[in-house]
Chain A
């Protein structure tokens, strides 16, 4: 579903992604971890057609992101740091707006189902400007799933979510993966990786330096691996706190 070949990206003299190789198959949930500045967000933005690669190629469902970005955009759902919501519109109006841009059918039914899935049913008529960070994040997730994309690209999607909302998102992602979607998410939370992901990749200095199925590694081993690869500059927080 997602295939990245020798992807490179440079900002000025700084090489952010260096001949990166990655693939995410149908029904797979891949967690991408790495230090701040490792290139996670750049990778997600490049996959989402928001940034053009300097070299290499990205294919989503066999379609090149540089040759046919419009087709790619129809097949991806993206959550980035910015929620991409309009604060002066209500929860429902935001989703209606995006439904119109995607020219979707059965809009109200979709919206109701998604708002129920992200537990925002009781706030449908409230303006987004009155929402907390976590609620905006949940609405962003609903927005990303509105058009039933086959690939989900989620950049630090668990940030700002409380335990209940995180568990809700875990279930939602697992359900989407069961339906055959490919999911790539970046995170700093080990706990989440072991709850939801099927594979974990470590990104360091623009390269995937470690990749392993989640069921063949323990949280402690992952933490040690992470430290080993990134020891020179990593700020280590004990894995028992659930974050790296």
Chain B
């Protein structure tokens, strides 16, 4: 079976862990985040009659991009950048994070997930801002860890992209 390492990246409290939990059954507790700074989960997905095992490295969100542990990124076949739709700053932080990640894994495909899409009232992003990201060539998917909207699609899309590269 093909195995792929995926990193979940994003600022503190954007919902990375919730997205992973929505997608897989976890065996490790969330305490790993505070001790080691990463939590690992596994999910086998079916893509065109091919099984792919995804190893999800859910990396703890740091306040500053400089604090990101680059060694955790090594060998990643793809990554998900996660932003919080109710906090505008988190979207712009993803740009900084992507710059750092590209230094380590230049060719790995990635997606931008704008999470908490269920919280429409608190939504603080304008469509224009999202379009700007798309113009840069980023693929964007709106997700909700709470309702599950877009979660499966996000992981499967990334997996598909990884197989194509």
Bind each other: no
Residues of A within 8 A of B (CB): none
Chain B interfacial positions (CB closer than 8 Å to A): none
